[in-house]
Amino acid sequence: MLSSPTVRTSLIFVAVALFSLLFADIAITASNPWRDLGNFFLGVITPNFFSSEGLMTALLRTVAFAFVGVALGSVCGFLLSLVYRFLPVRIFCAFIRAIHELFWALIFLQFFGFHPLTGVLAIAIPYSGIFAKVYSEILDEVDPEPGRLLPPRTGVIAAFLYTRIPDCWVQLRTYTAYRLECGLRSSAILGFVGLPTLGFYLESSFSQGLYSDAGAMLILFYVLIATMPLWVRPRLLPVYVLGAPFFLGEGLPIVWGNVERFFTEDIVPSPLRDGEGLGGLVPWLSELMVNEALPGIWNTVILTQIALVATGILTLLAFPLISNHFGGPVRRTSGHVFLVIARSTPEYILAYILLQLWGPSMLPAVVALALHNGGIIGHLIGRQTNTIRLRPDAPTGFNRYSWELVPRVYRSFLAFLFYRWEIIMRETAILGILGIYTLGFYVDSAIQNIRFDRAMILILITALLNIGIDTLGRYIRRKLALQTMPTC
C-alpha cells in the first residue's frame, strides 16, 4: 500500500498536519462552551423572524449584490477566458482571484466608502479571475473536430459561437449557477465589514447574544440557497440581472478625490511618502516582515495544513451519509440536510459563530474550514459513489466502505482536496479578521490603524502565498495524474 503514490502523498500531508498541530494554538477558552452552544441551538429552533425591520431588506440586498457582482464577474471572466492562453493574462487572473472578497471590500471601502460599487467590485473582481480560469478550462475541453469541418473563411466569432459554445454550454451554465450560489455566500459575509447585507445584521445579533434573531437569519439564508433551483430560472435571469442594480441601496455618494488620494498617497510606503527615500524603505520593510508578515505567514500555513487534513478526514467520514450503498432513505435525507447546511454556511460565518462560543484559538477556524469544505467535497464524492455498481455479493458495512468504495473514489477525493487547498488558504488568511493570528489579523490591524501602505503590502504577500499554494497544488495533481472537472 505504501508503494502507491497517492497513499504516500496523503501520509506526507497527514504528517505535516500533525507536525503543525505541535505549534498550533488549539484550545477551548470559554468557561462554559457547551452552554453557549446549547443556547445557540435553542436560538436556531426558536427563530425570531421579526427582530429587525431591516432583515428583509438585508436579504434583498444580499441577493442583489450577488447578482450584480456575479453577472459582472462572469462577463469579464468570459472575455478574459478568450485570451487566457497568454501568460500575462493568466498571471493577472491568478493575482486577482488570490485576494479574497473581504480584502477587496476592505480596500474599496477606503475610497469608495459605503457605496454599492464597493460591494459589487469586491465580488466581481475575484470572481472574474475565477471565471476566466474555469471558463477557459471548459472551453479547452471542447472537441475541436466541428471547428475543423467549417468551410474556409468562416468568421472567427461565428466559428466560436457555433462550434465551441454549443458543445460546452451546459457546463458553462452549471458552473455559472454554482458560482451564483457562492456569490450569495460572499455577498452575505460582506456585511461583516459594514455593507448592508445579511452579515451586517448577523454580526450585530450574534455579538449581542440574540441567538433567536441570528437563528432566523441563518434559516432564511439556507432557505434562500436551498430554493435556488426554484427561483433562479433561465427565463427570469434577465429580469434579475436588470433589476438587481436597483436594489443595492443608495449608500453614500462617492467622492472621487478620495480615489486619487488612496493611490497616490495612502498606499505609498510611509518612508517614501515622508521623503526618506529608499534608505528608509529597507528598515520599514524588514520591520514589517519580521513583526507581522512572517508570523502571519507561519500561522496561515500551519492552520491551512491542519484544516486541509481535517477537511479530508471529515469528507471520508461524511460521504457515506448520502451514498446509496449505505443506510436507508431516512439516514440519507438527514445526511443530505447536514451536508447542505455545512456547505451553505460560509466558513467565515461558521468560524465567527464557533469563535463566539468557544473563545479564541485556531480550533474554531479548523472546525469551520473542515465543516464547510468537507461538506462540499463529501457531497461530490457521495454522489460519485452512487454511480458505482458493486457486485451483488460485495461485502457490506465497514468492509464495503474501506475495501470497495474508498479505493474507488480515492483519486477524485484527493483531486478535489488539492483543488480546494488554495481556497482553504485564502479563507484561512481572511479568518484573521476575526482575531486568529493569520495574515488577515495583521491586515485588519494595519487598516484599523489607518496604515494602508502596510495593509497593501500584507495583502500582496497573502496573494503571493496563495498563488504559490495554487501552483504547488496543481503540480501535485499533475504528478499524481489526478483530474477534476471544476465543480467546486
DSSP 427-487: HHHHGGGGT-SSHHHHHHHHHHTT-HHHHHHHHHHHHHHHHHHHHHHHHHHHHTT----S-
In Å, what is the CA distance from 143 to each residue of 87, 147, 174?
A: 23, 8, 19
Contact string (CB under 8 A) for other proteins, positions 291-330, x = contact: ----------------------------------------
With CB under 8 A as the contact rule, the residue among 229, 238, 275, 277 that binds other proteins is 238
Does residue number 53 form part of the binding site for other proteins (CB under 8 A)?
Answer: no
* Tally of residues, the chain: 488
Cell of 52: 429587525
The b/e string for 228-259 (b: 16+ C-beta within 10 A; e otherwise) is eeeeeeeeeeeebeeebeebbbebeebeeeee
Residue 290: CB partners within 8 Å, gap ≥ 6?
Answer: none
What is the C-alpha radius of gyration for the chain, rounded to an integer number of angstroms?
Answer: 23
Count CA atoms within 13 Å of residue 274 on its CB side: 9
With CB under 8 A as the contact rule, the residue among 254, 394, 467, 488 that binds other proteins is 254
With CB under 8 A as the contact rule, the residue among 280, 327, 359, 486 that binds other proteins is 359
Does residue number 286 form part of the binding site for other proteins (CB under 8 A)?
Answer: no
In Å, what is the CA distance from 173 to each residue of 135, 170, 177?
A: 10, 5, 6
Of 100-139, binders to other proteins (CB under 8 A) are 109-111, 113-117, 120
Does residue number 445 form part of the binding site for other proteins (CB under 8 A)?
Answer: yes
Nearer to other proteins, 107 or 381 (CB): 107
**Which amino acid, one-letter code, is at 378?**
G
Do 63 and 184 contact (CB within 8 A), yes or no?
yes
Which span (13-21, 144-152, 250-258, 373-381) binds other proteins, by CB under 8 A?
250-258
Does residue number 30 form part of the binding site for other proteins (CB under 8 A)?
Answer: yes
Do 322 and 376 contact (CB within 8 A), yes or no?
no
Of 191-230, binders to other proteins (CB under 8 A) are 192-194, 200, 203-204, 207-209
Q: Residue 2 phi/psi, 5° resolution?
A: -65, -20
* # chain residues binding other proteins, by CB under 8 A: 53
- The least distance separating other proteins from the CB of residue 393, rounded to whole angstroms, comes to 51
Does residue number 36 form part of the binding site for other proteins (CB under 8 A)?
Answer: yes
Does residue number 29 form part of the binding site for other proteins (CB under 8 A)?
Answer: yes
Which span (217-225, 253-261, 312-320, 402-410) binds other proteins, by CB under 8 A?
253-261
Nearer to other proteins, 78 or 178 (CB): 78
With CB under 8 A as the contact rule, the residue among 58, 301, 321, 447 that binds other proteins is 447
- Enumerate binding residues for other proteins (CB under 8 A): 29-32, 36, 68, 71-72, 75, 78, 109-111, 113-117, 120, 192-194, 200, 203-204, 207-209, 238, 241-242, 244-246, 248, 250-255, 258, 270, 359-360, 435, 444-445, 447-451
